[in-house]
Every structure is written in C-alpha cells, then in structure tokens.
Homo-oligomer: A and B are copies of this chain.
C-alpha cells in the first residue's frame, strides 16, 4: 500500500513528520511519497530513509492563517499535489497542515461516497472503559441538518466495526439528557430518524463520552469542536493546578516521583499523539487529518491508523452500508452477523 504524506504546514516544521515516517517504516511495510520542500526535508533524511521514500518537491503550501479555499487555486501547493497523487493511485493521505484545506480538497477532488451528504472528522476519545470511543463530527460541519447527523452515525458505526474491530458497536447521540425527549431541535429530529437503527443506543450526555457507555458519539461539527477543546482544556488545567500545588514542596515532589508510572499511563491514555490523527470519513479514499502540533509519535500513529483503515477497507464498507442501510434500516441485524 502507498501512503502519501504532506510534509508542509505543521506547527513544528518537517522534522516531526519525517521522524514519524521513519519510525513507522521500522515497524510496518508500506510505500511512502513525501510531498514538500526538498531543501527543508533533506537535512533530516538519512541515506537509509532516502532509499525508502519518494519525495515530490514543491515549496508552496497553505499557511494556517490562509483561507481554506486557497487550496483549490494553488495547484502547486503541497496538499494539492498530495491529493492528486492520492486520487491517481495512492491509497491514503496524511496531513498535519491546514485542516480546512485538506477537507475541502478531499471533498472536491476525491468526491463524496454515494449517499453521504457531508464528510465528517472522526476522533478517538479517551475512555475509562476497555476501549476508546469515537466522536464525530469533530469539526468539519458547523451547521448541520438532521440528515447529516444520521450520516455521521452510519459512518461512525462502520468505522468502529471495520477499522477498530468492535463487535456490535453502539452509537449515541450527544444531548443535554439521556431521555428521548431531550435535545435541541436538531437532536430531537435526528433522534427520530435514528430510532429504527439497531445500533442506536439513544441520547448520551457529555460525561458519558469518557465512560465507554457507547462506542460512537454523534454531534454536529460545531459542538464536536467545542467538546474536543473543552476536553483538552480540562485535562491541561488539572495538570497546571497540580503542578502549581507541588511546586515548592519537597514532600509533594517526592510523592510525584513515586507516582511516575501512574502519570505516564494517564498521559498515554489522554495524549492525542497516541491516537494518531482524525480520519475524514465520507470521501472516496482514506484521508487522515493530523493535529497541527503533531510530534513524531502522532505522525507514526496516524500512519498505523491509515494502514488499519486500508486493511479494514473502510471506504468500501461505508459505501456498502449507505447503499443497504439507508433504504432499509432493519437490514442491520443480519449484516451484523455476517461481517
């Protein structure tokens, strides 16, 4: 399988991207095409690595502060060229650059899967349960119709089943109470349409996201963005308050030293880097959107995620599901057994 990687536009430059690729190549077998500025990349590419990657040179890229629509006009930008390579034969694309540019180009150049109204960004969330849950849409669509949220539910279900290999994944609708009648107008309407689907658990609350109550949490992209950033904010505030408290106390510092393993696990379970990136579901090929501040580990994990998505054949599964399920919600029972 061939993975094309946008070298440009990440917050910390090309180095974490190259290191992530290099680490992933040590563990997995795949072809790589790197797209970006050769002059910036080459100082970090060892001879050994150079023999295993292709580099397509371009200097232009979409800056974080530029409008997403720039990407469509700038045909020599790294993401434009990378998307072309994906369209013309590669299997997956990863970018830690301008996420709006990546989404826009993916939708426009790769096209949506038949039946999907809007592609959605899907992120893994930490959970105290045995397995992480996924949340979508995490930010692709700010204003949504009920039909979009239904699409997100179907796509999330298929991703949980074919890529994460969850048995009978359950899908919850994010609301302000678990009762069926709770929700704003959007959620109430969506609830009615989702009701016949076997995989639909019902409404879930903000606190349920981290309990492993359901495997897939569905919301509009505006809400998804706020929930994600709130989650990051709480975790980092707790860390900051804690650090402030132990500062200046020898006893507390010793305590923190003894707790090092627990802190490491906690960090692993809540660190975005371990989850890789966020797949954009609903376009015709695998696209992974990585955090702008991705470190090498995050890029490495995003590559593993792309490989799992390809092995799980997620785009084909979503296409099949949309054909089958949209016309006949009750067909899901038999489908769950067969797959």
Contacts and interface: CB of A to CB of B under 8 A. Distances in A.
A50 interface: no
Contacts of A238: 235, 238, 266, 270
Interface residues of A, number: 61
B207 A236 contact: yes
Interface stretch (A154-162, A242-250, A287-295): A242-250
A118 to B, nearest CB: 14
Contacts of A174: 226
A143 B185 contact: yes
Nearest to A219: B226
A231 B229 contact: no
A311 interface: no
A184 interface: yes
Contacts of A56: none
Interface stretch (A79-87, A163-171, A252-260, A331-339): A252-260
Given A143-B185, A206-B227, A261 B237 contact: no
Contact of A208 (B228, B233, B255, B256): B233
Tell me which of A174, A220, A227, A258 has the highest count of chain B C-beta atoms within 10 A of its own C-beta: A258
Nearest to A233: B207
Contacts of A320: none
Contacts of A251: 258
Among A175, A230, A235, the one with the most B-chain Cβ atoms within 10 Å of its Cβ is A230
Count chain B CB atoms within 10 A of each CB in A208, A223, A254, A265 and give the residue with the most: A223
8 contacts: A142-B176, A143-B185, A174-B226, A177-B225, A251-B258, A255-B255, A255-B262, A256-B259
Interface in A210-232: 210-211, 219-223, 225-232
A107 interface: no
A126 interface: yes
A205 interface: yes
A277 to B, nearest CB: 18
Nearest to A244: B128
A207 B236 CA distance: 9
A176 B208 contact: no
